[in-house]
């Protein structure tokens, strides 16, 4: 089974801090994704990556950046955390084509105080 | 570009009753369709998928879905629900030959009452 592991289940940070969310997958998937999930809004795509060192903006990239130095690891960075970034963050991975499902981590619930 | 509409944000139902969660999509090309389930404080996991072939797709935990091309729908059904089916359900679509990035619906919260 594919395993997508997010480094923290719960995280509390202060406004203005630089925050790192880490995600690791163990199935050699090319594609990795970061979403945020808010009540009533479903999943919104922040950034995705289709290869090492490659990244593409999703629907809501403002205030975020990403890093993919190794194929199995995809990091989400909040450069200067703000209270409106309090949310559930989900990492996912998939293999090459659109007929393959995504595999999700258990999420990180991030609170910015 | 594709889009997905889940018509109900919340569906309450009694235990052992049947349930249908509705999903409609919009696309100018052929599509792949997915249903995911999210239990409280967990990530999403795949329930079932339609790629091609038979329009009736069976998934895990007794769920099934039917692809209807003329109505552009992919409704999820279960003949008898359990308390443990209480969860958020997401429909997703990706386009044949297009991007590998799926479009998700906003989710339907299934609440099963004893």
Residue closest to B89 by CA, chosen among B38, B29, B33: B38
- Closest residue in A to B97 (Cα) is A98
- pLDDT tens, residue by residue, A83-97: 999 999 999 999 877
Give the one of B9, B34, B43 whose C-beta lies nearest to A101's C-beta.
B34
What is the average pLDDT score of chain A?
A: 94
**Given this model, what pLDDT does residue A2 score?**
66
B48-61 burial: b if 16+ Cβ within 10 Å, else e: bbbeeeeeebebee
**Given this model, what pLDDT does residue B97 score?**
76
- For chain B, list residues with pLDDT below 50: none
How far is Cα A66 from Cα A10, in angstroms, rounded to an integer? 20
Is A49 in a helix, a strand, or coil? strand
- On the question of pLDDT at A8 being above 70, the answer is yes
DSSP string, B36-88: EEE-TTS-EEEEEEE-SS-SEEE-GGG-EEEEETTTTEEEEEESS--GGG-EE
CB B96 within 8 A of CB B32: yes
- On the question of pLDDT at A12 being above 70, the answer is yes
Neighboring chain A residues of B51 at a CB cutoff of 8 Å? 99
A52-61 burial: b if 16+ Cβ within 10 Å, else e: eeebeebeee
**Given this model, what pLDDT does residue A26 score?**
95
How far apart are the CA of B4 and the nearest CA of chain A, in angstroms?
11
How far is Cα B16 from Cα B40, in angstroms, rounded to an integer? 21
Asked if A24 is an interface residue toward chain B (Cβ–Cβ < 8 A), one would say no
Residue closest to B9 by CA, chosen among B113, B109, B112, B86: B109
Asked if B77 is an interface residue toward chain A (Cβ–Cβ < 8 A), one would say no
Q: Which of A54, A101, A107 to mutate to test the interface with B (most CBs of B within 10 A)?
A: A101
**Terminal-to-terminal C-alpha distance of chain A:** 37
Please report, rounded to a whole number, the percentage of residues in chain A having pLDDT higher than 90.
Answer: 88
- pLDDT tens, residue by residue, A33-63: 999 999 888 899 999 999 998 999 999 999 9
**Terminal-to-terminal C-alpha distance of chain B:** 41
| B106/A31 touch (CB, cutoff 8 Å), yes or no | no
| B101/A41 touch (CB, cutoff 8 Å), yes or no | no
Q: Tokens 């995911």 correspond to what residue? A: B36
Residue closest to A92 by CA, chosen among B36, B63, B88: B36
CB atoms < 10 A from the CB of A70, how many? 10
Q: Tokens 């629907």 correspond to what residue? A: A59
How far apart are the CA of A94 and the nearest CA of chain B, in angstroms?
9
**Given this model, what pLDDT does residue A100 score?**
87
Alpha-carbon torsion angle B101, B106, B112, B113, nearest 10: 160
Is B28 in a helix, a strand, or coil? coil
**Given this model, what pLDDT does residue B9 score?**
94
């Amino acid at each position: 089974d594919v395993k997508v592991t997010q480094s923290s289940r719960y995280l509390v940070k202060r406004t203005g801090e630089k925050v790192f969310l880490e995600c690791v997958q163990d199935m050699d998937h090319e594609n990795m994704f970061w979403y945020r999930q808010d009540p009533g809004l479903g999943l919104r795509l922040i950034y995705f990556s289709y290869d090492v060192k490659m990244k593409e903006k999703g629907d809501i990239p403002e205030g975020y950046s990403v890093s993919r130095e190794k194929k199995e690891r995809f990091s989400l960075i909040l450069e200067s955390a703000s209270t409106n970034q309090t949310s559930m963050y989900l990492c996912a991975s998939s293999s090459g084509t659109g007929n393959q499902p995504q595999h999700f981590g258990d999420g990180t619930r991030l609170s910015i105080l | 570009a594709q889009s997905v509409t889940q018509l109900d944000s919340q569906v309450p139902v009694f235990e052992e009753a049947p349930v249908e969660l509705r999903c409609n999509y919009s696309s100018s090309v052929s599509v792949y369709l997915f249903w995911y389930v999210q239990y409280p404080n967990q990530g999403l996991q795949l329930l079932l998928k339609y790629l091609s072939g038979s329009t009736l797709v069976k998934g895990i935990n007794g769920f099934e879905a039917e692809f209807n091309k003329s109505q552009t729908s992919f409704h999820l059904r279960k003949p008898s629900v359990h308390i443990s089916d209480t969860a958020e359900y997401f429909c997703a679509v990706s386009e044949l030959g297009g991007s590998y990035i799926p479009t998700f619906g906003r989710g339907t919260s299934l609440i099963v009452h004893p």
